[in-house]
Amino acid sequence: MKIVHAQTVLTEDQLEELKKKSNEPSTKEALSIAVQHYLECEYTEMNDEMWTRKLEKVVQKKQQIDSN
């Protein structure tokens, strides 16, 4: 596996929010966690199947709320 160095431009507010959300004080770790999450998350697949799964979960959650 080849490792590469990658950069991006963020606002300070975006970076601070990312660190807060990832619970990581370092930029490097916060970005690493965010990239890993994006690659693994089923909702980042921008296709019809992703939207179908998301809508199914919304409907299930609504049905649970309505049944209670």
Q: Domain extents for the chain? A: 12-67
Report pLDDT digits (tens) over 5-25.
999 999 999 999 999 999 999
CA quadruple 23, 24, 28, 33: dihedral sign = negative
| 4-6-12 Cα angle (round to 5) | 150
Q: What's the confidence (pLDDT) of residue 18?
A: 96
| Residue 58: band (very low, low, confident or very high) from pLDDT cuts 50, 70, 90 | confident
